[in-house]
Amino acid sequence: MEDLKIVNKGLEDEMEIGGYRLCRWKLALVGVGVVCTGGFLLLLLYWMPEWCVKATCTRTTVKEAEMVLLQSTDEFKRWFLAKVRVMLAPGRDPFDDLDSQTTSTSVANGHTTHNSQSPAQELIHKYAEYQPVQIRYFTLHSTKYYWSDTSQNFEVFTGLEDLEVTCSTVHSKHSAGLSRNQQEYRRLFFGVNEIAVKVPSVFKLLIKEVLNPFYIFQLFSVILWSADEYYYYAAAIVFMSVISIATSLYTIKKQYVMLHDMVAAHSIVRVSVIRANNEIEEAMSTDLVPGDVMVIPSNGTIMPCDAVLISGTCIVNESMLTGESVPVTKTNLPNPRQGEKGDEGDGFYCTEEHKRHTLFCGTNVIQTRFYSGELVKAVVVRTGFSTAKGQLVRSILYPKPTDFKLYRDASLFLLCLVAVAGIGFIYSIVLSIMNQVPAKTIIIESLDIITITVPPALPAAMTAGIVYAQRRLKRIGIFCISPQRINICGQLNLVCFDKTGTLTEDGLDLWGVQRVENKSFLLSEENPYKESLVKSSFVACMAACHSLTKIEGQISGDPLDLKMFEATGWILEEATEEETALHNRIMPTVVRPPKQLLPEPIVSPDQDMELYELSTGYEIGIVRQFPFSSALQRMCVVTRTLGEKRMDAFLKGAPEVVASLCKKDSVPEDFAEVLEDYTKQGFRVIALAHRRLESKLTWHKVQNVNRDHIEANMEFLGLIIMQNKLKPETPGVLEDLRRANIRTVMVTGDNMLTAISVARDCGMIPPEDRVIIADALPPKDGQAAKINWRYADNPTKNSTKAPRLEEVEISLEDVTQGDELKPQESYHFAMSGKAFAVITEHFQDLLPKLVLHGTVFARMAPDQKTQLVEALQSVDYFVGMCGDGANDCGALKRAHGGISLSELEASVASPFTSRTPNISCVPNLIREGRAALITSFCVFKFMALYSIIQYISVTLLYSILSNLGDFQFLFIDIAIILIIVFTMSLNPAWKELVPRRPPSGLISGPLLFSVLTQILICFGFQTLAFLWVSQQSWYNRWTPSSDACNLTSSSNISVEHNDTELDDHNIKNYENTTLFYVSSFQYLIVAIVFSKGKPFRQPSYKNWPFVLSACSLYAFLLFLLFYRNSAIDDFLEIVCVPMEWRLTILLIIFLNAVVSIFVEGSVDLWGHRCVSWLTCQRRKVPKARYMHLAQELSVDPDWPPKPKTTTEAKPPPRPENGSYQIIPAS
C-alpha cells in the first residue's frame, strides 16, 4: 500500500487519489450479501462509492490501479469513483514530433488490450516501426487524466501551455501548422474539440431519480401498506411520488437541454487550417487540436476553441464570457525575437496574462484586420472542456454542493425522528408479544410505525416554499438558476458591490481637462473642443489613443474611450477591405478634426488646388496599438501625422503609472496634490503623455517593437477628469441595508481615493467615520514585507484644495473617545489590490482583522475579488456579491448569493440575474430569501409535528390493539396535510428589511424549544382524551350493535354489514374516533401556530389560500363532529358518540388551541432569553468568528493601528507568536 497522491494540486478541484484493483473473493461475498438483503446492499453501495470500492477491491499502487477512488480536499469531502482504461498510442507525449523520429520514444510492457481505440490502431499501422505504448487514463467530470511516468501521478493535458512556451517560441515553432499525422496523434490525447453536454435519456434520469434514498423509503412504505391492506393510502402516495418524480425529471431534462442548446449553438463550424506544408485546408472545428494554426475569416466567426493571434487584429464581442457587450480589440502576440534588443521581455505565454492577444472559445469575432497577402492567423491553445467556455460549462454541469446549515440540520432532524420511530418500533413489538399477536401482524405494525414517523411528503413540502419564492422573484425581475440558494440569501449579512456600473452609472461624463505647460498645470478647462487646441499634442492624444472601431458605420468600443473621443469632436475613418487589399501593408485607422476647427490658410492665386488640399489636411494615422491592460493600467498607440517623417507615441492610463513613465522634469511638482484633490472628490482621473519617436523607427520596426521601448521618457501632457455619477437608487438602498445591520463593502478596479470618495458619497462610510489606508509593501532588498498605516482625512467639500494625507495627525485616543459607544463602527480600512496580495501572502493572521472592518478594496483584479469573498466567508460571514458581470464572474459564483446586473450570457456564472440594472434588487432578494427561509422552518416544524401527532395517535391505539383506518390516514394526509403545507408556504415577504436575521439552522434553541413544547402539548391533550373516554358512564367496548347514540336499526344493519371485513384491524371504537377528531384539529392548530408572519413574512391573514383552506377544514371537521352522516362515518370508519362527549372533545380542542397559541407566543417573546439563561455559562462566546474577533479587538489597546506607524512581517529565521510576526510564504 502506498500514500495517497494528489491530483490538480493547488486548484479548485484538488483531490486525493487512491488505487484499487478488483478482488474476486470480496466480489463473491458482496454478491451473497446482495441476495441475502434482497438487493438493499447493492443500493447502499450505489449511494456510498467509497464503501463500494472498499467492499469489492483491494488497495494497490495508483500506477497499477484498475479503479481509482478520489476524494475532494475541500470542506465537502465528496467521493468519486473512476475506472482506469488503457489505450495504445505511438508515443507518450502528445507534443512528440512523430514525423522526425526514427526510433520509438518508449517501449510498452508487453501484452495488448481490448481497450484500444480504432483511430489509435490506424496510427499504429501508419507507424509500423513504432513499438506501441500502453497509456493508462481515467475520465472524471469531462476531464481525462493520463498517467505520467515522470511525475508518477495522473495529470491533465490542458493544451499548448503544458509546454511552457515563450511568446517567441509560439511564433518560431508553432506558427507553421501541424501535419495531418501530428494532428491525428494529438487528437488521441486531447480528444475531439467539442464541449459535449450529453442530454441523458429519460430512462437514465428516471433510474437516478428513483434510486434516491427517499424514494426507496417510499417504495418500502408502499409495499408495507399494501401488505397491511392500506391500498388507497398506498395508491395516493404512489400517485404523489409519480407526480414529484415527473416534475423533477422535467426540470432536470429542461436544464440539460437549455445548457446543451446554449453550448451547441455555433460550437461546430467549418474552419480553415494551415498545414505544415503551408497548404490551407477546410476542416471541421471538432478536428482541431492544440498547435493547429487556424485562419480567422474576415467576416468574423464564433471561436470554436481558445487560440492566440499571431498575425493581424480582431474585434471581438466577449459578452458570452465577461458580460461586457463592448467589443474588444485583440492584437497579435508580440514577438520579442524580432524586437530591437533580442530576448528582453520574452515571458511564458499564459492565457490570463496575454488575454489581449487570445481569442476565447464561444466569443464572437466581429471583424478582422489584416495585411494584404497575409492572413489573420491564430494558434490553437486549448480545445474542448479545457477552454474558457468549457470550464464555465463544467462549473455548471458539476457544481459544488451548497453547504448550508438548514440542509445539514434537516438531516439531523430526520435522524431524531428515526430514533423516535425506533422507540415506537420496540414498544409495538413488546406490546404485541405480550398480547400474543400473530408474527405477521407484529412485523407489519412495527414497521408501520417507522413509515408514520418519517413523513413521505417532506421533500415536496420543503421545495414548495422555494418554488413560490422563485416565482415571486421572477415577478420583480430577478431570475434564478440555483433555487437552493434562495434560502441562503435569507442569511446574508454582508454584501460586496462592484463600483462602476453597479453603484455608479455605467458611463463616465467628461467633467473637464487640466493641461500641463512648462511643467505646471494650467487652469482646468471644460472642453478641449477649441480651434486653438486643435493641433496640440493633448487633443491629438485624446483623439488617437483609444481602441475604438467602426462596426456597421457606428463607432463602438470602451465607453470611456468613446466619451473622450466624442469630446474632441474629431472624425474616425477606417480602411475598407478593398483598400487594405490594394496596398502592400495594413491601412491605418485615421482620425482628423472637423473642417470648421482648422484655421483657414491664406490662399495665393497661383497655388495648385491639390497642394492646397494637402496643406490644409491634418490627419493622424494610428500605426500600432498596444491595447489597454488592466495589469499595466495603461494603453499606448504609435501614430504618424500626415506629411511628417517621424512617428509619435501617445500614452494614457492611471495617473500614477503614466507619471512614472514620464521624464521627471515634465511632471508638475504639485502633481500628487492636484490628483489627490480630484480623486477625493470622486472624479476618475486619466493622465496623458506623448513622445516623438526616433526617425530610425520605421513602420516595419514599429510592428515588432516591444511596448517597453515605446513607453519610456514620455512628456507629461495633463489630466482628463471624468465624472462617475452615483445611480439615484444607490444611497437609499445602502441606507436600508445599513439599518438592517447588513455590512456593505466596495470592491472595485478603480483608484483608491476615488473609491473612498464614492463610498462616502453613497453613505457606505458615514461622514464621522475614519478611513485607515493599509499600504502594504512586498519584501525588498532583504527587508521584510511591511504595512504603512495612514489615515485618510474627511473630505472638506467647501475648500478648494483638500489637505494632503500626510498632514493628518490623529492619535488613536481622539478616535476612540469620540465613538466610545460604537467602537466597531468608528473606522474603516481601505486597501489596494497590490496591498491585498501582500497581506494575503505575508500577514495571514492580520487578514481576518482587516476584512472585519475593510470597506474599500480598490484596484482589485478579478481573481482578487474572489479571494476577498473567500476571506470574508472564512470569518463566517454570509457574503452576497452584486456586480455587472464584467469582471465579477468568479466572485459572483463563489459568494453565497451572487447577483449579476448584466442580462448577458455571463449571468450563467451567477446564481441570480436582475433585470433592473441597479442595486435595488439586493434588498428584494434578501427579503425574499428571508421569507423562503422562514417558510422552510415553518414547513419543517409543521411536518415534524404532523408525523409526531400521528405517531402519538397510533402508539396510543396500539395499546388497545387498534389503529387508524385507511381512509382516516388518507383524509389526514391528503385533505389536511397536503392542502395546508402547500398553502402555508404562500406568505409573501415582509415589506422592509429588519435588523434581526432569521436563524440559520433548525438546531437552534428557540426553534427546538418551540417544537418540543408543541409536541408535549399535543401528547398531553391526546392522552387526556384517550384516557377520559374510557371513564365515561356510557363507555363499553364497541361492537357493531353498540348504541351510544341511540342508532336506528337500519343504520345498525349497514354498520354490521360493513364491519365483517374490518374486524381484523379493530378500527371502529370510541378511542379511535376520539383520537381522530382531536388529532385532526391538532394538525390545524399547529399549522396556524407555526405560520409566522412579521418580521420576515406578511401575516398569515393576508395569505388568503391558507386562510380559506384552514377555515374550510375547520368547518368540515366541526360538521363531522356535530352532524351525524352515516355515509361519511362509514367511509372514515368513525363511530357515533353522545352529544355531551362531542362537546367535551370541542372543549379539549379549544383548550389545546389556547395553550398552543399562548406557549408559542411566549417562546417568541422569551425563548431567546430562556435559552440563554439555561446556557448562561456559554453565552459570552459568539458562534460566528467575525463576532468573536470583534469582541477581541474591542479590548485590544493596539487596534486599530495608529497613523504613520508600520507593521512588519517577521523575517523567516525566528518564528515567534507575537503580533503579526508572520513567516513570509517562500
Instruction: For residues 275 and 973, give the distance between their C-alpha atoms in angstroms, rounded to a whole number.
Output: 71
Query: What does the chain come to in residues?
Result: 1226
Backbone angles phi, psi at 458, to 5 degrees: -60, -50
Helix (H) or strand (E) holding 190: helix 180-190
Answer whether 688's CB lies under 8 Å from 652's CB: yes
Dihedral angle sign, alpha carbons of residues 586, 591, 596, 597: negative
Cα separation, 1188 vs 1181, whole angstroms = 7
- Laid out side by side, the sheet with 313-317 consists of 301-302, 364-369, 313-317, 328-330
Amino acid letter, residue 422 = G
Cα(292)–Cα(512) distance, integer angstroms: 49
Angle of helix 1139-1174 versus helix 1005-1029 axis, rounded to 10: 150
Q: How far is CA 592 from the centre of its chain?
A: 47
* 44 SS3 class: helix
Give the CA diameter of the chain: 136
Contact (Cβ atoms closer than 8 angstroms) between residue 479 and residue 728? no
How many of the other CB atoms lie within 10 Å of CB of 259?
Answer: 18
Q: What is the C-alpha separation between 756 and 749, in angstroms, rounded?
A: 13
* 451 vs 681: CA distance, rounded Å: 68
Phi, psi of 751 (to 5 degrees): -60, 145
Concatenating the DSSP letter of every residue in 524-538 gives PBS----GGGTTSHH
Among the listed residues 888, 859, 356, the one whose alpha carbon sits nearest the alpha carbon of residue 629: 356
CA distance 793 to 795: 6
What is the distance between the alpha carbons of residues 714 and 478, in angstroms, rounded to a whole number?
49
What is the DSSP track for 103-151?
S-SS---S---TT--HHHHHHHHHTTTSPPEEEEEEEETTEEEEEETTT
Q: What is the DSSP string of 581-619?
A: HHSSSPPPEEEE--GGGSPPPPPPTT--HHHHHHHH---
Which cell numbers in the block locate residue 386? 479545457
Cell numbers standing for residue 1120: 363531522
The residue among 566, 544, 568 whose CA lies nearest residue 555 is 566
Sheet strands (E) in 823-868: 827-832, 854-858
Q: Is the backbone peptide bond immediately before 1200 cis, with ω within 30 degrees of 0?
A: yes
Any idea which residues carry the catalytic annotation? 498
Write the single-letter amino acid at 1108: L
| Owner of C-alpha cell 448584466 | 902
- How many whole angstroms separate alpha carbon 453 and alpha carbon 951? 6
Query: 537, 717 in Cβ contact below 8 A?
Result: yes
Query: Which of 747, 741, 749, 775 lies closest to 759, judged by CA?
Result: 747
Question: What is the identity of the amino acid at 1142?
Answer: R
3-class SS shares of the chain: helix, strand, coil, % to 5: 45, 20, 35
* Sequence-distant contacts of 74-81: CB under 8 A, at least 24 apart: 74/14, 74/400, 75/403, 76/400, 76/401, 76/403, 78/401, 79/48, 79/49, 79/50, 80/15, 80/49, 80/140, 80/141, 81/49, 81/52, 81/53
Considering just the CA atoms, what is the radius of gyration of the chain in Å? Answer: 37
